[in-house]
């Protein structure tokens, strides 16, 4: 009887510890998934009819909200935009004085990134395909679709999964800050 009671207590303690670990405290989630530039994120999400949690999740996955991020491929800023992509966006949005240094400005970077994400969502009509195109390029996604394939690159599938997970975290954790109903 004592052994059975000890086993029961041990299992209950282990279950409680597991439940605590699975439901991380809010302060830890906010530390792990920061939200910087919230007013820029919400403003451009509204301007481009985007889910603000999705926009925050893309920024998190691309740069962890580090405005000075630069990739080995030359992508710059919060949303890791390539200069050629950003130059095209500037021309589409009425900008004629684009400078690569503009991409270091969080407001401009997120504005261009939000425009681009909205454009991809309009083109593909699917969040996961839009995210795949954001990561792997439209030409790859177009080829996969033409061949009747899903997302062919494992690293792109992983990217999409990470952004979707982060989107859920941002929606739940920052609902008030991101003005999510």
Catalytic positions are 62
Could you tell me the two tokens for 122? 């309009």
CA distance 124 to 10: 51
Could you tell me the two tokens for 137? 């390029």
Contacts 24+ apart (CB under 8 A), 125-129: 127/54, 127/164, 128/160, 128/164
The residues, ordered by sequence, that sit 6+ positions from 180 with a Cβ below 8 Å of its Cβ are: 51, 52, 53, 171, 174
CA distance 32 to 14: 25
CA distance 93 to 112: 9
């Amino acid at each position: 009887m004592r052994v059975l009671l000890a086993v029961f207590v041990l299992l209950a303690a282990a279950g409680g510890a597991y439940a605590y670990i699975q439901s991380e405290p809010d302060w830890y989630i906010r530390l792990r998934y920061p939200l910087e530039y919230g007013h820029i994120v919400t403003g451009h999400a509204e301007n481009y009819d985007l889910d603000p949690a999705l926009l925050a999740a893309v920024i998190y996955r691309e740069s962890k909200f580090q405005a000075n991020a630069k990739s080995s491929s030359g992508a710059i800023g919060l949303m890791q935009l390539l200069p050629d992509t950003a130059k095209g966006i500037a021309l589409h949005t009425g900008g004629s004085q684009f400078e690569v240094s503009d991409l270091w400005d969080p407001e401009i970077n997120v504005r261009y990134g939000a425009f681009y994400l909205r454009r991809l969502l309009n083109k593909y009509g699917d969040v996961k395909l839009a995210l795949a195109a954001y990561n792997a390029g439209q030409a790859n996604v177009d080829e996969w679709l033409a061949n009747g394939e899903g997302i062919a690159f494992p690293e792109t599938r992983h990217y999409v999964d990470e952004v979707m997970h982060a989107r859920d975290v941002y929606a739940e954790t920052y609902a008030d800050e991101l003005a999510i109903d």
